[in-house]
Amino acid sequence: MKQILSVQNPLIKQCKKLKAKKYREEQGQFLIDGQHLLQEAISAQLSLEYIFYDPNRCDPPQNTDAECIECSEEIIRALSDTPSPQGIIAVAEMPNEPDSDLSAGRYVLLDDVQDPGNVGTIIRTAEVLGMTGVVLGEHCADVYSSKTIRSTQGALFHIPILRRNLQAFTEELHQHHIPLLATAMNGESLEEAEVPLNFAILFGNEGKGVSPALLDKAAQLLTIPMAGKTESLNVTVAAGIVLYRLHSKR
Amino acid sequence: MKQILSVQNPLIKQCKKLKAKKYREEQGQFLIDGQHLLQEAISAQLSLEYIFYDPNRCDPPQNTDAECIECSEEIIRALSDTPSPQGIIAVAEMPNEPDSDLSAGRYVLLDDVQDPGNVGTIIRTAEVLGMTGVVLGEHCADVYSSKTIRSTQGALFHIPILRRNLQAFTEELHQHHIPLLATAMNGESLEEAEVPLNFAILFGNEGKGVSPALLDKAAQLLTIPMAGKTESLNVTVAAGIVLYRLHSKR
């Protein structure tokens, strides 16, 4: 059983760099922090390279081919982004993007959603409500940051995530006759609207909403009926309501 | 026009203390940070004592009786909890709790929701979807923290917020024949369920859900149909879906 006790160990120093997006993209790897997320990754058969664990806090998982390395609490702290890490952190390979068969499906498109917690929460909701995949535009928060992953509660391992230029992707959808839906103030009532079986639904930036150039391409606009003085819902809540409604209309 | 230029000024030092919950409760006051929230507070006729503003960033509002005090950027920074404050911060009086007439209404009850962003987001959703009031249990995040207020987007000024012992409050509801609803894994389908006109709906802690003692008192359990591998929705998303569904069934 391999053991590392110094944060100065070259492998630890290298893995610690995966806290930065640039290095994650270069390496095609990312960190998975904590027992629950790790089990979700294993159950989804994600490829794991190393598992670092503090033997005073937990046992290494049995059901993995990853190299399990005993290490100190200090090393776990160095690798973690949370104030009280659980004592286990893995290095995982980013999964290959699935071939998206755009002949059918129910896609969630995120345009410039900035907050990693929001991106993660919408991925979690999309997975729970049976969507086919989530497509992140180029300016969204990184799906492999620790905060995004934590907010997904592991859902990102169970649903295809694509990263695309959304202008180009909406063209592709159009060619495949998959209609683009979006939410807007003056659309059809979400409750009354007839929705197609296959679709892509677009959600936008926390402050500015969906960019006008993309909104122009929407075939159908949906409105969540509102009864109060506050002008809008949080984007994760709006997405939750719309995805629930579309899911229940199947 | 009064002007303060030193962060050592006694009034500034006193107002800065309002960043701490303990002092807010003692003084019955709290801070409102930023132009949008301040305008929402003014439109809701909240009583404001002082408005501190940086004249290089913005003008003081016209439509208020508060004392408007010119001050330096440094003072705004000292009073704010955000990394890039907008240059205007007010000291507001906590509103008196409204007399809750429990003969009718649609209440949202939060049991031990810990994250201030979650408490704020649920208040925002409840206001947008026309609920009568939000009742916070004793262990919820503080409604007057800057993060909670920011997450409400000002909705907290437009909907009654009560702080109560929920065990006692659910007894009161029972006496007034207002049924208690909650979400659970094995309840009636949210889509199919018949719901009463007046009700209180309970949401619980991010990790543990609603406490069993309160769940026992629920007259009706509702389940959001789930299709994925992830076990649960984020509490703000679950609340959004349930409140939307209850709102649209009126």
CATH number at residue A119: 3.40.1280.10
Taken in order B110, B114, B118, B162, the sign of the CA dihedral is positive
CA-based nearest residue in chain B for residue A159: B228
Ranges of chain A with pLDDT below 50? none
A25 in the same domain as A117: no
A196 in the same domain as A117: yes
Q: Would B220 be classed as within a structural domain? A: yes
* Confidence bin at B239 (pLDDT 50/70/90): very high
Q: Would B100 be classed as within a structural domain? A: no
Helices (H), A191-234: 212-215
A12 in the same domain as A121: no
A229 in the same domain as A139: yes
Q: Would B101 be classed as within a structural domain? A: no
DSSP, residue by residue, B79-127? H--SSS--SEEEEEEPPPPPP--TTS-EEEEESS---HHHHHHHHHHHH
B128–A233 CB contact, under 8 Å? yes
**pLDDT attached to residue B249:** 75
**pLDDT attached to residue A119:** 98
Structural domain ending residue among the three candidates B93, B120, B143: B93
> For A196-206, how does the pLDDT look when each residue is reduced to its tens digit (9 = 90+)?
999 999 999 99
**pLDDT attached to residue B7:** 94
If you count them, how many residues does chain A have?
Answer: 250
**pLDDT attached to residue B99:** 76
B125 in the same domain as B81: no
CA A24 to chain centre: 15
> For A90-127, how does the pLDDT look when each residue is reduced to its tens digit (9 = 90+)?
999 999 888 777 788 999 999 999 999 999 999 999 99
The total number of structural domains in chain A stands at 2
B153 in the same domain as B35: no
Structural domain ending residue among the three candidates A60, A93, A126: A93
**pLDDT attached to residue A60:** 92
> For B205-235, how does the pLDDT look when each residue is reduced to its tens digit (9 = 90+)?
999 999 999 999 999 999 999 999 998 999 9
B135 in the same domain as B188: yes
Flag whether pLDDT at B57 surpasses 90.
yes
Q: Would B180 be classed as within a structural domain? A: yes
Nearest residue to A88 via CA among A38, A47, A42, A45? A38
Mutation site, A161, A244, A245, interface B, largest B CB count within 10 A:
A244
Q: Would B99 be classed as within a structural domain? A: no
Domain with A130, as residue range(s), is 106-248
Q: Would B186 be classed as within a structural domain? A: yes
Q: Would B161 be classed as within a structural domain? A: yes
The H or E element spanning position B228 is none
Structural domain ending residue among the three candidates A39, A58, A93: A93
Q: Would A193 be classed as within a structural domain? A: yes
Residue in the structure block whose two tokens are 């309840």 = B187
B53 in the same domain as B118: no
- Nearest CA to CA, how far is A175 from chain B (Å)? 28
- Nearest CA to CA, how far is A177 from chain B (Å)? 25
